[in-house]
Amino acid sequence: VCVVACMCLCVCVCVLLHVCVCLSISSKISPSPPYPGFIAADIKGTGSWTQLYLITDYHESGSLYDYLKSTTLDIKAMLRLAYSSVSGLCHLHTEIFGTQGKPAIAHRDLKSKNILVKKNGACCIADLGLAVKFISDTNEVDIPPNTRVGTKRYMPPEVLDESLNRNHFQSYIMADMYSFGLILWEIARRCVSGGIVEEYQLPYHDLVSSDPSYEDMREVVCIKRQRPSFANRWNSDECLRQMGKLMTECWAHNPASRLTALRVKKTLAKMSETQDIKL
């Protein structure tokens, strides 16, 4: 028992230190980091228990989930939330070389509850507890053996049916993109067009229960290949129509067919430019 406890503690400490390093480096690289700015970290314990503390910037608007439940959006606000979110994801997925560099990282638990909204209406990626990094020097993926991680509602088909290639880092990147497509859907539903807006709902709210099982999600996502539906009004608004196209290409059943974070970022930037919106 002691050996297992020590091993678990070592793993937790390593994860904490890894996340701290990534947050600290990213804060130095970018004046507006794409995930909460790192402030401090600490480890406390009495021998029988241990607590790990990671202190980051506080964002009073809370998570994107909380924000969307209480806030409707115009086109500018929608694009700002979407663009800043995918910018953070793009930063996470990209390896940066040099003394101030960082490894490529896949999140593995992307959802609206793990994205925070800043005071200026921009988003940052949070909760890297399940993140996996790519060690480019050895072409290895630093990951625990269990493929079933994250939140069931946001799991891509290859995780639900256990066909994900655990040794291929790009598999985790594409899994993130599926989850991000669902987040785009959550954002777009709250954008007002023609005086109409849908109430906030979680993805697949009309197809599974509030706490779906793996089997529930596998039947909907893998077997029936269903995805969240679009409101008819989206066809009458060019920006919402393009958002619908984006999310459809993010949550494609075939991981190789999904858009990358960089591609989504560039498309959203172009959409903003067309709308004469500065992000």
Mean pLDDT in residue range 228-238: 96
Q: Which token pair is 153? A: 């509602």
109 flagged as catalytic: yes
Positive or negative: CA dihedral 118, 259, 279, 69: negative
Using one digit for the tens of pLDDT, what is the confidence trace for 68-111? 999 999 999 999 999 999 999 999 999 999 887 899 999 999 99
Q: Is the pLDDT of residue 27 over 70?
A: no
Give the model's pLDDT for residue 61. Answer: 87
- Which domains are assigned to the chain? 1-57 (no CATH), 59-274 (1.10.510.10)
Mean pLDDT in residue range 235-240: 96
Most confident of 13-17, 58-62, 116-120, 219-223: 219-223
Rounded distance between C-alpha atoms, residue 164 and residue 178, angstroms: 13
Rounded distance between C-alpha atoms, residue 278 and residue 30, angstroms: 19
pTM of this prediction? 0.84
CA terminus-to-terminus distance, the chain: 53
Give the model's pLDDT for residue 100. Answer: 79
Give the model's pLDDT for residue 38. Answer: 61
Give the model's pLDDT for residue 48. Answer: 77
Give the model's pLDDT for residue 4. Answer: 35
Range in 3-7, 25-29, 114-118, 231-235 with the lowest mean pLDDT: 3-7
Rounded distance between C-alpha atoms, residue 76 and residue 276, angstroms: 9
Q: Which token pair is 9? A: 């503690």
Q: Higher-confidence residue: 143 or 196?
A: 196
Angle between the 261-274 and 169-189 helix axes, to the nearest 10 degrees?
30
Beta strands in 17-176 (DSSP E): 38-45, 50-56, 104-106, 115-117, 123-125, 132-135, 140-142
DSSP-derived secondary structure for 68-109: HHH--B-HHHHHHHHHHHHHHHHHHHS-B-STT-B-EEE-S-
Q: Is the pLDDT of residue 247 over 60?
A: yes
DSSP-derived secondary structure for 188-242: HHTB-BTTB-PPP--TTTTTS-SS--HHHHIIIIIIS---PPPPGGGGG-HHHHH
Mean pLDDT in residue range 175-194: 98
Residue 180 near residue 83 (C-beta atoms within 8 A):
no
Q: Is the pLDDT of residue 51 over 70?
A: yes
Q: What are phi and psi for residue 56, nearest 5 degrees? A: -130, 180
Residue 241 C-beta-side C-alpha neighbours within 13 Å = 6
**Marked catalytic residue, from 57, 66, 74, 109:** 109
